[in-house]
Amino acid sequence: MHVWRHPRPEGAAGLCVGAGSDLPVHWRRSKRLARRIQALARRERLPHRVWTSPLQRCADVGRWLRRWGWQHRLDTALLELDFGSWEGRRWDEIGAAALDAWIADFAAHAPGGGEALQALLTRAAGWQPAEARLVVSHGGWMLARRWRQQRGQVLPEAATWPAAPGYGRCWRL
């Protein structure tokens, strides 16, 4: 399965952005990523079907492909981590005490009262549509999926959690 991280959204710099932040992506970035997915599908003779998170930063890529005759499926299981009340706030405004509480119990703590990383790990690992070969999702989802594939049930600590892939990057998972 090929999974792309969505293109860089508008206005995300310095903000906590997760499942509750539906930020737009410039149409050119969405179209450019759709063309890259289309080219890979052509090279590898993959079905013209793409699964995306329903957030517009992912779904807009799927909408371009649908315009070109593809099947586009939205799936909430592909959403980013939900940061609850932290969504859309500047990281420096969240406060050291709140961040320290998350870091201290990284996998089980629900930042901002949203979703614990443990839940994202389970959701990402459990997503198994039989015919899903091309996916557009989020950096956190991609990290969670790869973590489970490589480390099984071992829970991450903040210090061992890797950096997210760059916008528009593709991983084979």
| pLDDT score, position 112 | 97
| pLDDT score, position 130 | 80
| pLDDT score, position 132 | 86
| pLDDT score, position 45 | 96
Q: Where are the beta strands (DSSP E) in the chain?
A: 2-5, 49-52, 71-74, 134-137, 170-172
Q: Where are the beta strands (DSSP E) in 38-132?
A: 49-52, 71-74
User: Along the 173 residues of the chain, how does pLDDT read in single tens digits?
Assistant: 999 999 999 999 999 999 999 999 999 999 999 999 999 999 999 999 999 999 999 999 999 999 999 999 999 999 999 999 999 999 999 999 999 999 999 999 999 999 999 999 999 999 998 888 999 999 999 999 999 999 999 999 999 999 999 999 999 99
| pLDDT score, position 141 | 98
Task: Give the CATH number of the domain where residue 36 resides.
Answer: 3.40.50.1240
Nearest Cα neighbor of 83 from 115, 57, 56 is 115
Burial class (CB in 10 A: 0-12, 13-18, 19+), 37: buried
CA distance 99 to 111: 8
Residue 6 and residue 137 in contact, taking contact as beta carbons nearer than 8 Å: yes
Total structural domains within the chain: 1
Domain of 106?
A: 2-172
| pLDDT score, position 166 | 97
Q: Give the predicted TM-score (pTM) of the model.
A: 0.96
